[in-house]
A and B are shown apart, each in its own frame.
Chain A
Amino acid sequence: MKLAVFVSDYKLNVDTLDRLKPEKLGIILVENGVYHATIKENGTPSSLLKKNANFYVLMDDLETRGLGSSDINNNIKMISYGDIVDLIFNEYEKTAWL
């Protein structure tokens, strides 16, 4: 399964993402999920970024929160809404909003 997971919270109250093991995983950080791309609590990047996945962060939600490209880890791609459409139609088969 090629799965695109939307992460919309910084503190997840479910552990589902840790249990999913799709053949291909894309993690799209939106809303408060964008903080995973930028915040280093006590100097440590979010553990989410250790996953074997392709990472994307929604530019609009990043900039809304006073953040930008210089704040994100270099393994994360900044994307637009149009890019999300292309990702879910062309790169992944199913989606999950957690």
Chain B
Amino acid sequence: MSTTKLGFIVQRPPYKSENPKLALTHAISSQSVEVYLNDGDIVTADVAFIGDGVLNCLKNQKAMEKYALSSTETHIKNSLLLDLNVMVCKEDLDRLGLSENDIVMDAEEFGAEVTTKVVPFSEITKMMEEVNHLLFF
């Protein structure tokens, strides 16, 4: 039985590039990876939004209404529903004049029990140290 930890770091704003959404969909796929692994082996995914990437976390996104696309907000909520560790850099929120009130902090309506963690960059650095592999988007 062993665990491989992956760190998904999202650095860029949503929509113009497909990358931030792909970060989330790949991270979410950690929940079904067991089909390829031996019993007890798992892959975990931590997701951190840093730099302008914190803009992915704004709430009230209307991508479905405007472009018939599932929103990045929905993917963040799905990540919370699946108990992924979702972190948002506090210094970057502050720099952009944003607070916890502006971003997706929970997915209670989906039944999610975990919430988004607004953390200093030092916490994200700690996560990057602890994981086995890093994926920057």
- Known A-B contacts A14-B11, A16-B11, A97-B136; A1 and B129 likewise in contact (beta carbons under 8 Å): yes
A79: min CB distance to chain B, Å: 21
Q: A3-B134, A94-B134, A95-B134 are in contact. List 12 more A-B contacts (CB 8 A).
A: A1-B128, A14-B11, A14-B51, A15-B51, A16-B9, A16-B51, A19-B121, A20-B128, A21-B125, A96-B134, A96-B136, A98-B11
Residue of B nearest to A16 (CB): B11
Contact count band on A: 10 to 19
Cβ of B12 < 8 Å from any Cβ of A? yes
Given known A-B contacts A19-B121, A94-B134, A95-B134, A14 and B129 have beta carbons under 8 A apart:
no
Q: Once the chains bind, are A16 and B50 in contact (CB under 8 Å)?
A: yes
Which residues on the B side are within 8 Å of A96 (C-beta)?
9, 134, 136
Nearest 4 A/B pairs, CB to CB = A14-B11, A1-B129, A96-B136, A94-B134
Q: Does B133 contact A (CB under 8 A)?
A: yes
A-contacting residues, B109-137, CB 8 Å: 121, 125, 128-129, 132-134, 136
Q: Is B83 an interface residue (CB 8 A)?
A: no
**Which residue on B lies nearest to A93, using beta carbons?**
B132
Q: Once bound together, how far apart are the Cα atoms of A79 and B128, in whole Å?
A: 27
Residues of B within 8 A of A94 (CB): 132-134
Q: Are A14's CB and B134's CB within 8 A? A: no
